Amino acid sequence: MLATGKVLRLRLLQSTWRRCFTVLALESSADDTCAAVVTSERKILSNVVVKQNEEHAPYGGIHPLAAVHAHHRNMPGAIRAALNDAQLSMSGIDGIAFTRGPGMHSCLAVCANAAKNLAAALDKPLVGVHHMQAHALTVLLTSPESERPQFPFLTLLISGGHTLLLLTTSQTSFRTLAAAVDQAVGRVFDKVSRALELPWSTRGPGAALEECSNLDMPPEEVPLFPQFPPVQPGKLSFSFDGVHSEVHRLLERIKREGALTIGFKVGVARAFHEAITVQLEEKLVLALRQCAKNGISVRHVVVSGGVASNGFLRNRLRSCVQSKFLGEQISLVYPPPYLCTDNAVMIAWASMDRFLRQEHDNYSIEHLSKWNIEDLQT
């Protein structure tokens, strides 16, 4: 039998362990190879993101095989760097998390296998995370306590693979209110950026399109285009094929008439930003009204995913909600722009609750290229 003092010390140790849990997380669902170390005390000890823009720029979009090769090349270095930056060895890591899905199947395999092998070899608990849930929950890590969204909140996820409006009632309960009927909003940013022949810069095609729209040009050199037609007004669903075709129509016309000048590119980039923003605004307002009509009191809207790093969009969505819901105190909450695009910090944070409840995955768990976020609810 243990002496009382020893029992007390053991309890204290257990509660300390519960209070501070350190996760190494890995992410490779698309074209970024990421590793990060985060603690249950909300400390981001490291955040390594290895971009693959140089590999994919010649193809004009993510080349699946090039992405897998790059992940294989970059993952070991990303893990090493994440531990070095955190000034930890593996003995300081309590659990290993990875992106289980959704995403590109063979890309997901890289982070899944690295995480499973590390966890099995070192006898650490393992948690596989839903990528879009991780985007949605990032704000619970990054927002100061007074601004942290309270359930139920609305989540607008805008990334390269998804456009989703979700009613979020807990960390694992997401109900889809609207989704894209064709392509995802980020994918259209990428295609329009490519059609305008913009250099990708280090941040990729979507960010390049935003930079183009922000170029300071004499107004007489930037053509003004009429607003693009509204998309299924009054309907809770997204569609981006129409915006995409409008841009193509403008481009064909200008190519027939003459050169693709910088001024023209800036004009198209601005018209495109406006069209995308108007659609997101309309659907967000519709969803908020629908919630109110159904007696669901929503006080926060979380906007996340790569496209949510767009400054124009962030400002416009915020002022739209402020002006349409005057006096209702609905706040828009974004992660900082560098945590909107893919990263492993969000994967670590989304795994934390399960680690603390000791709900681990088996080392033989399989990754899932398709995984509906609604299926997270147990």
Q: Does 32 bind Zn ion (CB under 5 A)?
A: no
Q: Does 160 bind ligand KG4 (CB under 6 A)?
A: yes
Sole binder of Zn ion in the list 189, 342, 345, 350 (CB under 5 A): 342
Indicate which of ligand KG4, Zn ion, none lies near residue 27 (CB less than 5 to 8 Å, by partner kind): none
**Residue closer to ligand KG4, measured from CB, 153 or 272:** 272
**Residue closer to ligand KG4, measured from CB, 190 or 361:** 190
**Residue closer to ligand KG4, measured from CB, 273 or 283:** 273
Report the nearest approach of ligand KG4 to the CB of residue 254 (Å): 22
Supply the DSSP string of 159-173, one letter for each residue.
SSS-EEEEEEEETTE
Report the nearest approach of ligand KG4 to the CB of residue 211 (Å): 8
CA diameter of the chain: 90
Assess contact for 195 and 264: CB atoms under 8 A. Answer: no
Question: Which position's Cβ is nearest ligand KG4?
Answer: 306
d(CA 134, CA 288): 22
Indicate which of Zn ion, ligand KG4, none lies near residue 101 (CB less than 5 to 8 Å, by partner kind): none
**Residue closer to Zn ion, measured from CB, 21 or 238:** 238
Sole binder of ligand KG4 in the list 38, 207, 250, 280 (CB under 6 A): 207
Q: Does 161 bind ligand KG4 (CB under 6 A)?
A: yes
User: Of the listed pieces 43-51, 241-249, 307-315, 360-368, which binds ligand KG4 according to CB under 6 A?
Assistant: 307-315
Indicate which of Zn ion, ligand KG4, none lies near residue 204 (CB less than 5 to 8 Å, by partner kind): ligand KG4
User: Of the listed pieces 17-25, 94-102, 324-332, 340-348, which binds Zn ion according to CB under 5 A?
Assistant: 340-348
Total residues contacting Zn ion by CB under 5 A comes to 2
Indicate which of ligand KG4, Zn ion, none lies near residue 238 (CB less than 5 to 8 Å, by partner kind): none
Report the nearest approach of ligand KG4 to the CB of residue 219 (Å): 23
Q: Does 163 bind Zn ion (CB under 5 A)?
A: no
Report the nearest approach of ligand KG4 to the CB of residue 166 (Å): 15
Q: Does 102 bind ligand KG4 (CB under 6 A)?
A: no
d(CA 176, CA 179): 7
Rounded (5°) CA angle 261-56-73: 155
Place of tokens 């023209």: 264
Supply the DSSP string of 286-328, one letter for each residue.
HHHHHHHHTT----EEEEESGGGG-HHHHHHHHHHHHHHTTTS
| Binding footprint of ligand KG4 on the chain (CB under 6 A) | 30, 159-161, 186-187, 189-190, 204-207, 210, 305-307, 309-310, 341-342
| Binding footprint of Zn ion on the chain (CB under 5 A) | 159, 342
